[in-house]
Amino acid sequence: MSIGSNTTVAAAARTARTRSGEGLWRKAKRQKTLLLLLLPGVLYFLIFSYLPMYGILVAFKDFHLQAGQNFLTSILTAPWAGRLGLDHFADFVNGPYFLQLLRNTFLLGLYSIVFGFPAPILFALLLNELRNRHYKSFVQTVSYLPYFLSVVAIVGIMKLMLAPDTGAVNLLLTKLGLEQIYFFGLPQWFRTLFVGSGIWKDLGMGAVIYLAALSKVDAEQYESAVLDGASRLRQIWHITLPAIKPVIVITLILSLSGVLHVGAEKVLLMYSPLTYDTADVFSTYVYRQGLVNMDFSFGAAVDLFNSVINVIFLVASNRLARKLSGESLW
Do 15 and 121 belong together in one domain?
Answer: no
Q: Tell me the C-alpha distance between 94 and 88, whole Å.
A: 10
| pLDDT above 50: residue 35 | yes
The number of folded domains in the chain is 2
Choose among 325, 247, 306: nearest CA to 108: 306
Q: Tell me the C-alpha distance between 220 and 226, whole Å.
A: 10
User: What's the chain's Rg over C-alpha atoms?
Assistant: 27
Q: Tell me the C-alpha distance between 317 and 323, whole Å.
A: 10
Mean pLDDT of all residues belonging to the chain: 86
pTM: 0.81
Q: Tell me the C-alpha distance between 253 and 317, whole Å.
A: 6
- For residue 67, is it within any domain? no
Do 53 and 96 belong together in one domain?
Answer: no
Do 23 and 139 belong together in one domain?
Answer: no
Helix (H, G, I), strand (E, B) or coil at 38: helix
Give the pLDDT band of residue 9 (cuts 50, 70, 90): very low
| pLDDT above 60: residue 306 | yes
DSSP characters over 117-181: SHHHHHHHHHHHH---HHHHHHHHHHHHGGGGS-HHHHHHHHHHHT-TTT-HHHHHHHHTTPPP-
| pLDDT above 50: residue 1 | no
Do 52 and 180 belong together in one domain?
Answer: no
Do 202 and 140 belong together in one domain?
Answer: yes
Do 22 and 136 belong together in one domain?
Answer: no
Q: Dump pLDDT digits (tens) for 52-85.
A: 888 888 999 998 876 666 777 788 888 999 888 8
Do 44 and 160 belong together in one domain?
Answer: no
Do 107 and 154 belong together in one domain?
Answer: yes
Domain of 24, in residue numbers: 3-58
Do 95 and 44 belong together in one domain?
Answer: no
- For residue 81, is it within any domain? no
Q: Which domain CATH number covers 175? A: 1.10.3720.10
Q: Tell me the C-alpha distance between 277 and 187, whole Å.
A: 7
- For residue 77, is it within any domain? no
Mean pLDDT, residues 136-160 taken together = 92
Do 131 and 190 belong together in one domain?
Answer: yes
Mean pLDDT, residues 97-103 taken together = 93
